[in-house]
Amino acid sequence: MTKAPIRVAVTGAAGQIGYALLPRIASGQMFGPDQPVILQMIEIPMEKPMAALEGVAMELDDCAFPLLQGMVVTSDPALGFRDANWALLVGSKPRGAGMERGDLIAENGPIFTGQGRAINDNAASDVRVAVVGNPCNTNALICMHSAPDVPDERFSAMTRLDQNRAQAQLAAKAGVATTEVKNTLIWGNHSATQVPDVYHATIAGRPANEVIPDAAWLEGDFLEAVQKRGAAIIKARGLSSAASAANALVNHVRDLTMATPAGQWNSVCVKSDGSYSISEGLIASFPVRSDGKGTWEIVADLTLNPFLEGKIAATVKELEGERELVKDLL
């Protein structure tokens, strides 16, 4: 029997991540090869992005994807989020010249208040929300607080790209395929303070820090390479990560919808329950397992060494500072 379509709302749909993401969703890579989808693509009400979005929709038409059962092209969030089962919040205001991180947070706050309300009032009762637009943790926090009828555990933000970057770096250093590297993990904020954790990762079934017995590299160059990979891509390409970000969002949604293999986890920014000394209520990256039926849990009882404890304290401090900046919106 044919499945009912999933309605997927995507903001920033005419942007570069949107362009790489939409065909992946429409071809079945996010929700599966037998799951029809309807794409509800949302942009800002300005001539250029809306014209670009029309062009994206034309290209999606031209792919004749068997699973794509419909498209909505709109600048109206109420229409864009109507009956949505997933809301992928990719669009946000980019950092302008001379803008501090605090300015960026303040500028983006109202966008995510409005989108949270629109999701609250229009989306399907089972809606789940994934935030990519930066600063994604705090944007997700604002969105969650603006959608009181949607349970908090339905909100997430993305650190899967950072996890994938860490996995690729470890595989390259160890000279193995990426599939041999498991349980790389990101803690905290999706920012330069994020904490890539190799102390719980394995390479070919052995602890990563035994396979790569080079603490100076693991706590130095490796950490920096992951934290600063986004900047390195911008320097090389003149544009920020798009294909890898779209790929990570496909992974992120699958991480939350499919059962996580035994003994494994993925990095997902979710509402903190206070574990690992991460202040309760923050949206922070944790090791997360999904049961494949819509429920996830934070993996409990990992042991943190003093190095990780110190780094996690710093990223938590940054997240607390961001929460303080937007406290009027919460």
| CA–CA dist 102, 108 (Å, integer) | 10
Q: Show the tokens assigned to 227.
A: 């934290």
Interface positions, 83-102, toward ligand NAX (CB under 6 A): 90-94
Position of tokens 């706050």?
A: 109
Of 8, 9, 41, 132, the one binding ligand NAX (CB under 6 A) is 132
Binding segment toward ligand NAX, per CB under 6 A, in 11-19, 170-178, 217-225, 258-266: 11-19
| Candidate segments 14-22, 65-73, 141-149, 220-228, binder of ligand NAX by CB under 6 A | 14-22
Pairing of strands 6-11, 86-89: parallel
**Cβ atoms within 10 A of the Cβ of 219, count?**
16
**H/E element, 271:** strand 266-271
Report which residue's Cβ sits closest to ligand NAX: 15
190 binds ligand NAX, rule: CB under 6 A: yes
Least distance in angstroms from the C-beta of 249 to ligand NAX: 8
| Interaction mask 153-172, ligand NAX, x per CB under 6 A | -----x--x-----------
Residue among 7, 73, 84 at smallest CA distance from 44: 73
Told to check if 116 binds ligand NAX by CB under 6 A, we report no
Nearest of 151, 167, 244, 237 to residue 200 by alpha carbon? 167
Q: Which of 56, 136, 186, 201 binds ligand NAX (CB under 6 A)?
A: 136
Binding span for ligand NAX by CB under 6 A among 30-38, 63-71, 234-242, 256-264: 234-242
Q: Output the six-digit token pair for 168.
A: 């690729």
49 contacts ligand NAX (rule: CB under 6 A): yes
Active site residue 190: yes
**Which CB atom, from 157 or from 211, has the smaller least distance to ligand NAX?**
157
User: What is the spatial distance between Cα 249 and Cα 175, in angstroms, rounded to a whole number?
Assistant: 26
Residue 242 binds ligand NAX (CB under 6 A):
yes
Residue 144: CA atoms inside 13 Å, Cβ hemisphere, count? 25
17 binds ligand NAX (CB under 6 A): yes
Output the CA–CA distances (angstroms, integers) from residue 111 to 105, 139, 214, 298, in the order listed: 10, 9, 44, 28
* By the rule CB under 6 A, 12 interacts with ligand NAX: yes
Are 18 and 12 spatial neighbours (Cβ–Cβ below 8 Å)? yes
Residues in the chain: 330
Among 209, 240, 254, 297, binds ligand NAX (CB under 6 A): 240
Using CB under 6 A, which of 5, 16, 101, 209 touches ligand NAX? 16
Helices (H) and strands (E) in the chain, counts: 12, 14
- Binding residues (CB under 6 A) for ligand NAX: these are 11-12, 14-18, 42-44, 49, 90-94, 111, 132-134, 136, 158, 161, 190, 230, 240-242, 245
Q: Which residues are catalytic?
A: 190
